[in-house]
A and B are shown apart, each in its own frame.
Chain A
Amino acid sequence: MRALVTFVYLFLYTPIVLIVLFSFNAGRNASEFVGFSTEWYGKALSNAFLMEALQNSLIVGFTSAGLATLFGTMAALGLERVSAKTRAVFDALFAAAIVVPGVVIGIATLVALVEVFGLANSLIASVWPGEAPPRMQLGFGSIIAAHGLFTMALVTMIVKARIASLGRDIVEASSDLYATPMTTFWQIVFPQILPSVLAGFLLAFTFSFDDFIIAFFVAGSKTTLPIYVFASIRRGVTPEINAIAAMVLVASLILILSARFLMRDRTANS
């Protein structure tokens, strides 16, 4: 049993350790480590294509996570007010959205968007007075929409859990002390759920930043960081790719650990 567990962990982490290790390799060959160097990091950071992909990923990540946080939090708050039956239905739908494989979401979003764009474009073309009517097409918008929808479910689940642990007592106490529902929300509820809202944002951002599959389907001509990496390794794994992977890894770890810190059980110290 012990050996099996050890094997599983080795299997999981050895490649990751190797990637980080070889990102510091002075040589170009991935099979032998010839010396320590940070030159690949320098190369990666001065690669214009890579920087553009990174910029795209940041735009998509911030926008989709921002939208997901806004709507996910609103959904979590709204679900407090519906009947238990309706809530159960929505809970199941959100849970389903999280377990649906990325491939399915990617294809489904692609099909849906192409359909909608087709209809919208012909509609715009029919009413457009000028020569070249604008056309809606895949790009930032579609990646943001796909990521936003998927991660909204994530945010909703996280914020809902926090709201449930709050209980109705302090909300009622606030209302008992003459606070209007608006004041109660901003003074009492919001400060209490803020950490989980931030945690939701960080996780949504991390998901979007790391996602390859969904983005691959709906990105159109845009290149995000994972798509760039995927395209590059078809030309061979260079230490530069290792350096990028190591940086993404560290960034993701920091984000996820921050999210966990925000979501930690506060009852222990209260």
Chain B
Amino acid sequence: MASAHPNDIEFRSVTKAYGAVTAVRNINLAVPKGSFLALLGPSGCGKTTCLRMIGGFEQPSEGSVLIDGREMNGVPAYRRPVNMVFQHYALFPHFNVEQNVAYGLKQMRPRIDAREIDRRVQEALSMVRLDGFGKRRTHEMSGGQQQRVALARAIVNRPSVLLLDEPLAALDKKLRSAMQIELQTLQRELGITFVLVTHDQEEALSMADQVCVMSAGRIRQLGSPQEVYDRPADLFVADFVGKINRLNGRLEPGGQMLRLADGTALATSGEHSLPAGPVIAALRPEAIRLSRQETGPNGLRGTVTHRIFLGSGVEYAVTVAGLGDFLVTADRGQGSEADLAAPGDAVTLSFDPAAVHLFSPSEAA
């Protein structure tokens, strides 16, 4: 299976239409060997369709999908060196856990020795921490356990690529974070390329080393989690990946100054290529500093209207006259409750020029 080709998966101008619905539009994408890619986007943006085209359950209407440098158009699912973990697990109900996990190995030609199959099945089960569950019927297991069986059934075949379609969507929050860590560990240990579909931005950012943000069948941005979060390519990405505060304003000639609707002038980093004129500025809630003193440049005066205690931090809603509501998250710090701002307090919001992301209003999503 090892080859010199650097990419496990490549999309070349792939378009997929279902009748009148175009699910995927002209996508180009390369997934390097051993990487962990997350396809992230809102419902209906074409994530599952992309995954199914890699798995061989759908064929592109135009363009081609390559696996390990080989063009896969027309190659059926059962001849592709990839395995999929289905959203609803799709375990075989008439088989027990072992039989489910052994299924792929039993199909391999030349045949694998029965003892070898058994050894690898047990190894896979212990990798997903299901030792001793081999003889169970799958419907006698919890959702999380079934999920692990599905995972074991896929990784036991040592595919070059593992495809995961929202594999954690049905699990509760605690189990989900535990499985996220396990999946990540597994991916590093096995060195298999993972392609994960999710609409949960936290999941994508925390697990993947490449995040591909999609909307309406197109790729909006492809980059590392930090890039996508810190330098969103457009307003859609900024909005979808994390929370933002949106401000309408005008960029002054020279591009260094942003004039807001109420006349306030804000400094910007200047690292953009927008012409002077109307722009939309985006600010992450945690990039805003909130203080009860009147301080510094890039400051806006406002009044706290709500305070939400998040456990690890605090979230404030602050109304700024003429500009509207701002969302601000702050560390809880070591201070007592008296140190926190309370609803009704007058506060100053300030931020680094570098934290202000500017977008052209035409691409507003």
Q: A interface vs B, CB < 8 Å?
A: 169-170, 172-181, 183, 187-188, 191-192, 269-270
With a CB–CB cut-off of 8 A, which chain A residues contact B84? 172-173, 176
Min CB gap A168→B, angstroms: 9
With a CB–CB cut-off of 8 A, which chain B residues contact A169? 86, 88, 90
| 16 interchain pairs, CB-CB under 8 A | A170-B93, A172-B57, A172-B77, A173-B86, A175-B77, A175-B78, A176-B56, A176-B57, A177-B83, A177-B103, A177-B153, A178-B78, A178-B107, A180-B78, A187-B103, A270-B139
With a CB–CB cut-off of 8 A, which chain A residues contact B76? 175
With a CB–CB cut-off of 8 A, which chain A residues contact B55? 172, 176
Min CB gap A167→B, angstroms: 8
Q: Is B236 an interface residue (CB 8 A)?
A: no
Whose C-beta in chain A lies nearest to the C-beta of B139? A270
Task: List residues of B (53-97) whose CB comes within 8 Å of A's CBs.
Answer: 55-57, 76-79, 82-84, 86, 88, 90-94
Bound together, the chains give a CA A264 to CA B93 distance in angstroms of: 16
Cβ of A179 and Cβ of B107 under 8 Å apart? yes
Cβ of B107 and Cβ of A173 under 8 Å apart? no
Bound together, the chains give a CA A179 to CA B79 distance in angstroms of: 9
Q: Is B157 an interface residue (CB 8 A)?
A: yes
Cβ of A176 and Cβ of B107 under 8 Å apart? no
* A interface majority secondary structure: helix
Q: Is B42 an interface residue (CB 8 A)?
A: no
Bound together, the chains give a CA A169 to CA B48 distance in angstroms of: 13
Tell me which of B83, B88, B94 contacts A191 (CB under 8 A): B94
Bound together, the chains give a CA A175 to CA B82 distance in angstroms of: 11
Q: Is B270 an interface residue (CB 8 A)?
A: no
The 9 A-B pairs of least Cβ separation, nearest first, read A177-B104, A169-B90, A173-B90, A178-B107, A270-B139, A175-B77, A175-B78, A176-B84, A178-B78
Bound together, the chains give a CA A177 to CA B57 distance in angstroms of: 12
Q: Is B108 an interface residue (CB 8 A)?
A: yes
Min CB gap B316→A, angstroms: 45
Whose C-beta in chain A lies nearest to the C-beta of B103? A177
Bound together, the chains give a CA A177 to CA B157 distance in angstroms of: 8
Bound together, the chains give a CA A175 to CA B103 distance in angstroms of: 11
Interface string of B256-272 (1 = CB under 8 A from A): 00000000000000000
Whose C-beta in chain A lies nearest to the C-beta of B79? A178
With a CB–CB cut-off of 8 A, which chain A residues contact B139? 269-270
With a CB–CB cut-off of 8 A, which chain A residues contact B82? 176
With a CB–CB cut-off of 8 A, which chain B residues contact A270? 93, 139
Min CB gap B288→A, angstroms: 46
Task: List residues of B (103-154) whose CB comes within 8 Å of A's CBs.
Answer: 103-104, 107-108, 139, 153
With a CB–CB cut-off of 8 A, which chain A residues contact B157? 177-178
With a CB–CB cut-off of 8 A, which chain A residues contact B56? 175-176
Whose C-beta in chain A lies nearest to the C-beta of B99? A187
Bound together, the chains give a CA A192 to CA B94 distance in angstroms of: 8
With a CB–CB cut-off of 8 A, which chain A residues contact B91? 170, 173
